[in-house]
Structure 1
Amino acid sequence: MWSIGELAGKAGVTVKTVRFYSDRGLLPEAGRSAGGHRRYGPEALDRLRLIRSLRALGLPVPDVSRVLGAHDRKDAMEDALEDAVAGQLRELGSQLAALRWREAALRLVRDSPAGERADRLRLIGAVPAPPSTAALARFWRRWLPPRLPARVVSAVVDQAVPHLPAEPTAEQVLAFARLHALVSRPCPGVSRDGEWQPAAHRSGGGHRPAVLYEGLGEAYDLASSALRAGRSPYDGEALDCFVAAYARSRGVRDTPDFRRELGGQLAADPRIDVYWQLAAELSGPSRPTPGAAHDWLCAALDAQVARSAA
């Protein structure tokens, strides 16, 4: 039987460390001396070494306690250890992502022209740490027409909200800060809800927005393939799918007259080009945004209508 000092000496730790783990039930005592002093058996040394190994991996005391609680059952201990390590890896990944964003933000401030540094600091300071796209998702849920099915809203938000790069550049940090600021402030010059939205969002007119957005998602995917290939706007499956989404949502036929009318309506609709420009800067050229796909399809429609008129 060892005293607390002897156990600490054999393990290479302080008496305070042994007492800490003992008081939390991680290191049970084998007994007490006649004077009431703690006594430990040889098995305590192995347990203390296991505790130190787990703590060296960054596992918090509650996770260590769960692993040790399953110590006498090998399968249970393996499961508890696997869960604890997986949780620590997730937390560490989040911390590393936050550090990479902080590093890129520091480079941005360091390399900013003196006249722009204060404004950029304000933009960066308004972004949550670690950065989150929650504000962008809220923006789209407000922007979309009311009473859309949840699955349609989720699909649109997934397409419209850019993914944050794991290793951002200073330029991407600035683009995200500007994007975050854009979606966090009221739309300027708008006195009523809906004034800044496309006509298809508004009630009346026989529009069925759920049908429209389901079809647009498919059309944007098709156009994105052409954009990645560097192809100029052209007639084809993507354009037909795009026009068909509008026609079905209004319960009308896809005719040359409808295409001409649709082209004029889309040209007059309010736009959020700044959002898509910043989203493109954040995502990079390999991931065309729905805004870029929409522009490509509108250009293809305009060219087709112009040829028909000629």
Structure 2
Amino acid sequence: MSAENVWSIGELAERAGATVKTVRFYSDAGLLPEGARSAGGHRRYGPEALERLRLIRSLRALDLPVPEVGRVLDREDALEAALEGRLREVGSRLAELRWREAALRLVRDCDPEERAERLRLVGAVASPPSTDSLVRFWRLWLPPRLPAAVLARFLEQAVPELPESPTPEQVLAFARLHAMVTAVCEGMEDCQPVVHRPGTGYRPAVLYDGLGEAFALAAPELTRGRPPRAGEALDCFVTAYAGARGTRDTAGFRHVLSRELAADPRLDRYWRLVAELTGPAAPTPGAAHDWLRAALDEQLGPQAA
């Protein structure tokens, strides 16, 4: 390397438009290649250090951490993974800011007498929010020892996806939903449906496997605004309960089922808040269950009452 192509740390900094402190930092971190030092022990750099420094600064401008920059410099295939990681992190931060903005608008724009309650509600929710509290609620509510696949399918239907850019009303709906599920009383097993209780003869895994299919069949009916009626969705709904009890779908069983469902505790407020959070485009399992119950009662006529 000729003397013309060897620069001091100050010369390299000037050529790169950086400060000496910046060049020294990257050198000490092992990111910049040094040439042979001068007789006085001063650092010397060649053209490859200038190109490397420019690349380092470009990567840092994308907010890649220094260790990540080092991995990208060492491995050509590391850049794509580093960029994907930064995109995920930026997306999460943007979601956090959007939720925070909507929460601020929610509190700012409400009536003064509502402000204290809204502050309490939104203050209890992490930012960005998580649906972990909803998952814990359902794990308490559902029968124990459901097969993992059945549980996963139900949770996918019952736990809503959170909007990336929520309105203040959606923030309020989720805050109320979070407050509801985190205030579950002790002795929850005493206020659960009959089918969840041991000794009632039901096989919950069979039931919930079938209910997921019934809800999926009922969803288009709700989306089109059709009134509750007999059909494939109702037959699937009743078959799920009959199969879970190891019996057949008969007229007598439908009358028994109608009475049991009428006496079961309900989670109307949960599903109402979910609907406020997700909008009317995707009917909730609660709405589908109500539609199917009404279809059953409609088929049975006055005797259902």
CA distance in 2 between counterparts of 1:31 and 1:143 reads 70
Partner of 2:23: 18
Residue 224 of structure 1 pairs with residue 248 of structure 2: no
CA distance in 2 between counterparts of 1:196 and 1:309 reads 23
1:96-111 maps to which residues of 2 (within 5 A)?
A: 96-111=94-109
CA distance in 2 between counterparts of 1:30 and 1:114 reads 68
The superposition leaves residues 171-218 of structure 1 with CA deviations (integer Å, 9 ceiling, x where unpaired) of 00000000011111123xxx6341121000000121100000000000
TM-score by length of 2: 0.96
1:307–1:185 distance in 2 versus 1, CA, 3 Å: closer
Partner of 2:114: 116
CA distance in 2 between counterparts of 1:119 and 1:309 reads 42
1:261-300 maps to which residues of 2 (within 5 A)?
A: 261-300=256-295
CA distance in 2 between counterparts of 1:295 and 1:10 reads 72
CA distance in 1 between counterparts of 2:57 and 2:246 reads 69
Query: 202, 206, 218: which is aligned to 1:207?
Result: 202
Q: CA deviation at 1:307?
A: 5.9
Question: Identical aligned pairs, as a percentage?
Answer: 69
Query: Which SS does the other structure have where 1:248 is aligned?
Result: helix
Query: Which SS does the other structure have where 2:114 is aligned?
Result: helix
Q: CA deviation at 1:225?
A: 1.0
CA distance in 1 between counterparts of 2:212 and 2:167 reads 29
Q: CA deviation at 1:28?
A: 2.0
Q: RMSD in angstroms over aligned alpha carbons?
A: 1.3
1:246–1:82 distance in 2 versus 1, CA, 3 Å: same
1:124-273 maps to which residues of 2 (within 5 A)?
A: 124-187=122-185, 192-273=187-268
CA distance in 1 between counterparts of 2:255 and 2:304 reads 9
Moved over 2 A (4+): 307-310
Gaps of 5+ in 2: 1-5
Alpha-carbon contact 2:259-2:304 (below 8 Å) kept: no
TM-score by length of 1: 0.94
The superposition leaves residues 48-82 of structure 1 with CA deviations (integer Å, 9 ceiling, x where unpaired) of 00001111111111111011112xxxxxx1x2111
Q: How many residue pairs are counted as aligned between the two chains?
A: 300
Gaps of 5+ in 1: 71-76
Partner of 1:37: 42
